[in-house]
Amino acid sequence: QLASREYKKETRTVAIGDTRIGGDTGNTILIGGPCSVESEGQIRTSAELIKGMGLTTLRGGCYKPRTSPYSFQGLGLEGLMLLAKMREEYGLKVITEVRDATHVDEVIEHSDVIQVGAKAMYDQGILRACAKTQKPVLIKRGFGTTLQEFVQSAEFVLSGGNENVILCERGIRSFETKTRFTLDLCGVAYLQEHTNLPIILDPSHAMGFAYGVLPLAKACVAMGIDGLLIEAHPTPKLAKSDASQQLDHESFSHLIDELNPIAQAVGYKI
């Protein structure tokens, strides 16, 4: 199998703009931004934060895979155009998620990394479309997905012709209800040992609460990972999705200082 260490011993290198992760790059990319693109002002403030910190990549969901049809569903194409505007004006790379195969082409066209969400990772229409581009695809592990199923999802993209696949652990469901999900660091160790794909961790969705995000991010970085995906919002309390887990911009801006020494200790840089 193409994702296995038997097939390819070295971790694959994937380029997100000028930032290369995986291989022997030693880079841990920090990707931040809101759960959802909500307005031009909100995503512009977010772009300014990312740019101001010297980071390269902004996240923001436009096609939101919400659990309830009565919750905010995302701005759709309008949001994608706002994100594309920030990409252009600030020279940032952007990552946004695909909810289903109907808008996968738009997302491929206007983003630098295609995020296949935890609920979408079984969607073969999406996976097959992602195989036909050369843009990086970040596949998030479903909350009830075994490591084998997770890797097989990646195999659809790899075997279809796109080698730029990144795995993302974002928490799985356990018996525990006090935290939103359970960040599976054992699973990360397994993937590091057995697969050749770069791995990005998302402590925000795993924890579900802002208070746990920094300590979890530290634990992730200590494992020698290729990147972090962290939600941050200019006014978290007013966020239209995932309000309780998003960092405010002040907390987000301190992340690098806290994480850098840990990254360095394991031979990585953020």
62: contact with Mn ion by CB under 5 A = no
Instruction: Judge whether 186 and 36 are in contact, CB under 8 Å.
Output: no
Could you tell which of Mn ion, ligand PEP, none binds residue 118, using a CB distance below 5 to 8 A set by kind? ligand PEP
Nearest-angstrom CA–CA distance, 196 and 150: 14
- Residue (49 or 62) nearer to ligand PEP, CB: 62
Could you tell which of Mn ion, ligand PEP, none binds residue 12, using a CB distance below 5 to 8 A set by kind? none
Could you tell which of Mn ion, ligand PEP, none binds residue 23, using a CB distance below 5 to 8 A set by kind? none
Which two three-digit tokens encode residue 220? 């992730």
Draw the binding track, 128-167, toward ligand PEP (x: CB under 6 A; -: no contact): ------------x---------------------------
- Residue (97 or 184) nearer to Mn ion, CB: 97
Nearest-angstrom CA–CA distance, 163 and 56: 22
Tell me which residues in 88-107 interact with ligand PEP (CB under 6 A).
97
Task: Measure CA 27 to chain center.
Answer: 15
Strand partners, 53: none
97: contact with Mn ion by CB under 5 A = no
Phi-psi region of 74 (alpha: psi -120 to 50; beta: other; left: phi over 0): left
Instruction: Judge whether 174 and 182 are in contact, CB under 8 Å.
Output: yes
> Which residues bind to ligand PEP, rule: CB under 6 A?
35, 61, 65, 97, 117-118, 140, 170, 205
